[in-house]
Chain A
Amino acid sequence: MSVVSGSATTARPRRLDEEGLPFDDETTANPFRAIADPAEVEARMGIVIVGHVDHGKSTIIGRLLADTGTLPEGKLEQIKDLCARTSKPFEYAFLLDALKDERAQGITIDAARVFFRTPKRRYLILDAPGHVEFLKNMVTGAARAEAALLVLDAGEGIQENTRRHAYLLAMLGVRQIAVVVNKMDLVGCRQEAFDEFARDLGDFLATIDMTPAAIIPVIGREGDNLAMRSATMSWYTGPTVLEALDAFRSQGEAVDGPFRMPVQAVFKFTNDGDDRRIVAGTIDSGRVRVGDEVVFHPSGKRTRVKSLEAFNRVAPSVAGAGESAGFTLAQQIYVTRGELATLAHEPQPLTATRIRASIFWLGAKPLEVGRNYTLKLGTTRVSVHLEHIERVLDASTLASVTDRTAVVRNEVADCVLKLRHPIAFDRASELAATSRFVLVDNFSISGGGVVREALPAAERRAPSTATSATIALRPGVLWLTGARGAGKTALARWLAGRADRAGARVEVLDDDTLGALFPAGGSRAEQDLRVRRLAWLASRLEAHGAAVIVAIGAPEEDTRRSARAVASDFIEIHLHAEPDVLSARGAIKDLVAFEAPVQPELKLDTGRLSLDEAGAEVIAWLREWSTQS
């Protein structure tokens, strides 16, 4: 078949020089094509292009590709062909919109990957969409970028997404940005209009601690100040967009920081007589050498690195940030995925079960106080409880709101999270990579955040009512029972939060515990058996001096009676609420009808009592009980 590369040059977009004349021979005149050896070019830099919808990001990218000669011919032909057939004028933005449904909607829907190169280096453009609903794609693109172009429309100015995107860039750690003021022709290419923009924008960016490397007046469609200097805006003396990109520094990997490697897996492949036990992971920062003493967090186990391992190359003696490494240990200690490997002689990470974090939320369902999520940081994952929202930041005004119980999509908030078990991390101000986490809600990544600081395990907030005094709980089993939605878990946690830590150890066993211990589902008999096992566990904890607060449904009186039988001190508290109250709370009806306890120690109507009031009743009852017995 015939493969001729020169035959279709007439169909390619023609580049114009400063005087608006086309180059005669594009292939030889185009300096961006003439790269002798890509190995001499710097390693690739990921850049993201963000901004409000319709401000011209796709046009700018399409034009950059055409002007640097990085466009595969088939692509341009295909789009021009399609435009001709549908009687639409050709636009550079169509180059990226390779998918049919994108053309239908007229908006970019994903962080498409596009490559191009200049004599200095290769670029991977992550085209982030501007539509407000598609922020998660922008985050996907921006999180991988080393630098960003923030695009805005000279005719429209600073829009909500301009602010939001700039703020997220700062949070995601993209510090190198250039601002592209597009469609300058709409303001007559006037310098005064541009200067005003530059001032407003500079003021705004300063409030989020960002300094743009350049603010560039551009006409995307014509290519002015993209690859070539604009003839119509000769008053502008700063860099073109390509010059600004080439001036960014490749940040490379953080080899200078302390060693941090989240353990991905410990491999032992016994086939073919391989008896190596290899701790594998990707190094986030620093470096490790053979003979170094490593510490694993949060377990605190330590030993020395015996060897570094690799396939099809000489085993290295050192491995650094950015590398997917593997090493064997001098002693056979038990470590697993999720631990953070560090070096004994370097600064150590923090370990905590309560953290303060800045979070951006992308989920369709809001992030709510009181709900549980899965947090993934490095290779560790832990169930977390959103304890408190300290403030929500309105991304478009940067004002903060303090009285919220939920964070909705596209908002940024400072929150307190309680973790089910301790994890190791660094503070965002000290080591970004090991401070970053995502939150998973219902199988999907719904938010991201950075750890600001570790907090003490005890709740810090003072209770709001007169019942603020703590109570010294005695060993015993406090069994909260009631229909689904009656408020068992909330009351259990309220009580645990007020228990005097100096006294007995307090343990809360709830549906989460049950789910974590025993497989869910099963027949009614199996469910009953699970509750009986939990009751037995509660009695053992009680025997060892713990005050156990149980908050599970256990709808059958018979089951609860057997729980009472195995405990020494069993206090049954029946939480009751009218059916209309339960359904108003959105509670799902129990599959097994709830049998009311015949002789509970205490019965509370949670439909009429607030949580604090119900809690106060329990504490009063417990105080009286303590004095009696």
Chain B
Amino acid sequence: MSTTLTAPSANRASRIDHLDQLEHRSVHLLREAYASFPHLAMLWSIGKDSTVLLWLARKAFFGHVPMPLVHIDTSYKIPEMIQYRDRLAAEWRLTVIYGQNEEALAAKQTFPDGNVDRLTCCGNLKTEALRRTLSGEGKRYRFDHKLGKYVVDTNTEPYTGVIVGARADEEGSRSKERYFSPRSGENNWNIADQPPEFWNQYATEFAPGTHVRIHPLLDWTELDIWEYIERERIPTVSLYYDQGKGERFRSLGCWPCTKSVTSDARNVQEIIVELKSGRFANIAERSGRAQDKDDGGGLESLRREGYM
């Protein structure tokens, strides 16, 4: 910068801190997504990450959440997760939509039914359900605030922009993501040929029949998430905390495939202390998620097919 455009440095504002830095970038990405995609949705798994994402949307849009939150209900989610979802939907006036693979559930093509392996179950109840809910082929159930219950959504327009709470530090394949990542009509992810991303410019142009996944949390770590939850006092499900049995969940999924970790952290502050202690430094965050192991530890086959 030339000297002519520089004001006296005595005006230097106090440095914005690490969490602020992350928050500002995520908010920027959310606003870019909102400006770029007329049919935009945000995936909400009820977990800590996508709930932080939801909170960031309220930051970006000054208390409002101007896009639907899509939840894929495998029917094997822990019941408390569903209660929490519907409570926040009502309190924060959210447009919540859920979808599920009703055919696979009816035909009992699931792992808990003992008919398919874990990966196929994920493929049926998550990946396929997600694909069909996003495209509008599958039924969408929308929370009706007047009736206080879910009704079939009349809008079957495909979502062309989908905001997802994936973080780069979770596991290998997610570290390869872009903030804006184009996916083909079949949800496929072409890892070797991704668009360049620089200077706050993203792949907001997209060819017909494709959609773009937006990842505003890519730079956040597990510790960042918990420190932000504490700073902002974001409500979370109690499953993340020890209820007196000396165990808690570090990552939430379907109950048949999710294991707890040994921990006596009873609240957000204690989780932060636990993470900083390095106790988990050598254990993958998703180590309690059985499907990852069945996929060669990488999750990449699942994600290539469209898993979130």
Residues of A within 8 A of B (CB): 1-3, 5, 8, 33, 37-39, 43-44, 72-75, 78, 98-101, 109-110, 112-115, 122, 124, 136-137, 139-140, 142-144, 172, 252-258, 264-265, 267, 269, 271-272, 274, 276, 278, 280-282, 286-287, 309-312, 318, 320, 322-324, 326, 337, 346-347, 362, 374, 376, 378-379, 426, 429-432, 436-438, 440, 443-445, 448
Distance (whole angstroms) from the CB of A451 to the closest CB of chain B: 12
User: How far, in angstroms, from A224 to B280 measured CA to CA in the complex?
Assistant: 29
Q: Does B235 contact A (CB under 8 A)?
A: no
- Are A140 and B207 touching (Cβ within 8 A)? no
User: How far, in angstroms, from A318 to B196 measured CA to CA in the complex?
Assistant: 34
Q: Which single member of A39, A43, A287, A347 contacts B5 (CB below 8 Å)?
A: A347
- Are A256 and B12 touching (Cβ within 8 A)? yes
Task: Give 10 closest A-B pairs by Cβ, nearest first.
Answer: A98-B172, A143-B198, A73-B282, A136-B196, A324-B27, A113-B168, A74-B284, A269-B64, A438-B201, A443-B205
Interface residues of B in 205-220 (CB under 8 A from A): 205-207, 218-219
- Are B5 and A430 touching (Cβ within 8 A)? yes
Residue numbers in B under 8 Å from A443 (CB-CB): 203, 205-207
Can you name the residue of chain B whose Cβ is closest to the Cβ of A364? B193
Please judge, given known A-B contacts A252-B15, A264-B32, A323-B16, whether A274 and B64 are in contact too, CB under 8 Å. yes
User: How far, in angstroms, from A252 to B12 measured CA to CA in the complex?
Assistant: 11
Q: Which single member of B2, B11, B205, B279 contacts A255 (CB below 8 Å)?
A: B11
Q: Does B154 contact A (CB under 8 A)?
A: no
Distance (whole angstroms) from the CB of B139 to the closest CB of chain A: 26
Please, what's the 1-or-0 string for B217-231, where 1 marks a CB less than 8 Å from any CB in chain A? 011010100000000
Can you name the residue of chain A whose Cβ is closest to the Cβ of B287? A74
Please judge, given known A-B contacts A99-B191, A311-B58, A436-B199, whether A271 and B11 are in contact too, CB under 8 Å. no
Q: Does B281 contact A (CB under 8 A)?
A: yes
Q: Which single member of A256, A269, A431 contacts B11 (CB below 8 Å)?
A: A256
- Are A110 and B232 touching (Cβ within 8 A)? no
Interface residues of B in 227-264 (CB under 8 A from A): 232, 247, 259-263
Distance (whole angstroms) from the CB of B158 to the closest CB of chain A: 17
- Are B191 and A101 touching (Cβ within 8 A)? yes
Residue numbers in B under 8 Å from A38 (CB-CB): 223, 276
Distance (whole angstroms) from the CB of A16 to the closest CB of chain B: 21
- Are A267 and B298 touching (Cβ within 8 A)? no
Q: Does B108 contact A (CB under 8 A)?
A: no
Please judge, given known A-B contacts A33-B278, A172-B198, A311-B58, whether A140 and B2 are in contact too, CB under 8 Å. no
- Which of under 10, 10 to 19, 20 to 34, or 35 or more describes the interface residues of B? 35 or more
A-B contact pairs, 30 of them (CB 8 A): A5-B280, A72-B283, A74-B287, A75-B284, A98-B171, A98-B300, A99-B172, A99-B191, A99-B298, A100-B300, A113-B218, A124-B219, A137-B194, A140-B198, A254-B1, A257-B5, A269-B62, A312-B58, A312-B59, A346-B7, A376-B201, A378-B200, A379-B35, A430-B2, A430-B5, A437-B199, A438-B201, A445-B203, A448-B196, A448-B201
Can you name the residue of chain A whose Cβ is closest to the Cβ of B172? A98
Residue numbers in B under 8 Å from A115 (CB-CB): 169, 221
Please judge, given known A-B contacts A1-B259, A78-B297, whether A257 and B282 are in contact too, CB under 8 Å. no
Q: Does B61 contact A (CB under 8 A)?
A: yes
- Are B262 and A1 touching (Cβ within 8 A)? yes
- Are A43 and B17 touching (Cβ within 8 A)? yes
User: How far, in angstroms, from A445 to B50 measured CA to CA in the complex?
Assistant: 28
User: How far, in angstroms, from A347 to B283 measured CA to CA in the complex?
Assistant: 53
- Are A98 and B35 touching (Cβ within 8 A)? no
- Are A265 and B34 touching (Cβ within 8 A)? yes
Distance (whole angstroms) from the CB of A229 to the closest CB of chain B: 26
Distance (whole angstroms) from the CB of A45 to the closest CB of chain B: 11
Residue numbers in A under 8 Å from B31 (CB-CB): 264-265, 280-282, 324
User: How far, in angstroms, from A286 to B6 measured CA to CA in the complex?
Assistant: 9
User: How far, in angstroms, from A457 to B223 measured CA to CA in the complex?
Assistant: 53
Please, what's the 1-or-0 string for B1-33, where 1 marks a CB less than 8 Å from any CB in chain A? 110111111011101111011011101100110
Chain A binder among B77-85, B114-122, B173-181: B173-181
- Are B282 and A98 touching (Cβ within 8 A)? no
Query: How many Cβ-Cβ contacts under 8 Å join chain A to chain B?
Result: 223
Q: Which single member of B8, B28, B195, B297 contacts A444 (CB below 8 Å)?
A: B195
Can you name the residue of chain B whose Cβ is closest to the Cβ of A258? B5
Can you name the residue of chain A whose Cβ is closest to the Cβ of B272? A38
Distance (whole angstroms) from the CB of A312 to the closest CB of chain B: 6
By DSSP majority rule, is chain B's interface helix, strand, loop, or mixed?
loop
User: How far, in angstroms, from A253 to B279 measured CA to CA in the complex?
Assistant: 34
User: How far, in angstroms, from A137 to B197 measured CA to CA in the complex?
Assistant: 8
User: How far, in angstroms, from A324 to B32 measured CA to CA in the complex?
Assistant: 11
Q: Which single member of B7, B66, B93, B284 contacts A272 (CB below 8 Å)?
A: B93
Q: Which single member of B17, B25, B278 contacts A5 (CB below 8 Å)?
A: B278
Distance (whole angstroms) from the CB of A323 to the closest CB of chain B: 5
Residue numbers in B under 8 Å from A109 (CB-CB): 176, 191-192
Distance (whole angstroms) from the CB of A86 to the closest CB of chain B: 13
- Are B197 and A140 touching (Cβ within 8 A)? yes
- Are A98 and B261 touching (Cβ within 8 A)? no
Q: Does B38 contact A (CB under 8 A)?
A: no
- Are B28 and A264 touching (Cβ within 8 A)? yes
Distance (whole angstroms) from the CB of B75 to the closest CB of chain A: 25
Residue numbers in A under 8 Å from B298 (CB-CB): 98-100
Can you name the residue of chain A whose Cβ is closest to the Cβ of B278? A33
Residue numbers in B under 8 Å from A255 (CB-CB): 11-13
Can you name the residue of chain A whose Cβ is closest to the Cβ of B3? A430
User: How far, in angstroms, from A5 to B263 measured CA to CA in the complex?
Assistant: 13
User: Max chain B CB contacts within 10 Å: which of A258, A287, A374, A444?
Assistant: A444
User: How far, in angstroms, from A101 to B200 measured CA to CA in the complex?
Assistant: 29
Residue numbers in A under 8 Å from B7 (CB-CB): 256-258, 286, 346
- Are A3 and B262 touching (Cβ within 8 A)? yes
Residue numbers in A under 8 Å from B198 (CB-CB): 139-140, 142-144, 172, 438, 448
Q: Does B63 contact A (CB under 8 A)?
A: yes
User: How far, in angstroms, from A188 to B27 measured CA to CA in the complex?
Assistant: 52
Q: Does B60 contact A (CB under 8 A)?
A: yes
User: How far, in angstroms, from A376 to B173 measured CA to CA in the complex?
Assistant: 29
Distance (whole angstroms) from the CB of A315 to the closest CB of chain B: 10
Q: Which single member of A43, A323, A376, A378 contacts B18 (CB below 8 Å)?
A: A43
Distance (whole angstroms) from the CB of A30 to the closest CB of chain B: 11
Can you name the residue of chain A whose Cβ is closest to the Cβ of B192? A109
Please, what's the 1-or-0 string for B51-74, where 1 marks a CB less than 8 Å from any CB in chain A? 000000011111110100000000
- Are B35 and A43 touching (Cβ within 8 A)? no
Residue numbers in A under 8 Å from B219 (CB-CB): 113, 124
Residue numbers in A under 8 Å from B276 (CB-CB): 37-38
Residue numbers in A under 8 Å from B21 (CB-CB): 43-44, 322
User: How far, in angstroms, from A37 to B35 measured CA to CA in the complex?
Assistant: 38
- Are A309 and B62 touching (Cβ within 8 A)? yes
Please, what's the 1-or-0 string for B125-156, where 1 marks a CB less than 8 Å from any CB in chain A? 00000000000000000000000000000000
User: How far, in angstroms, from A440 to B62 measured CA to CA in the complex?
Assistant: 31
- Are A438 and B199 touching (Cβ within 8 A)? yes
Can you name the residue of chain B whose Cβ is closest to the Cβ of A281? B31
- Are A440 and B1 touching (Cβ within 8 A)? no
User: How far, in angstroms, from A310 to B283 measured CA to CA in the complex?
Assistant: 37
- Are B62 and A3 touching (Cβ within 8 A)? no
User: Max chain A CB contacts within 10 Å: which of B8, B18, B32, B202?
Assistant: B18
User: How far, in angstroms, from A626 to B162 measured CA to CA in the complex?
Assistant: 60
Residue numbers in B under 8 Å from A281 (CB-CB): 31
User: How far, in angstroms, from A379 to B61 measured CA to CA in the complex?
Assistant: 17
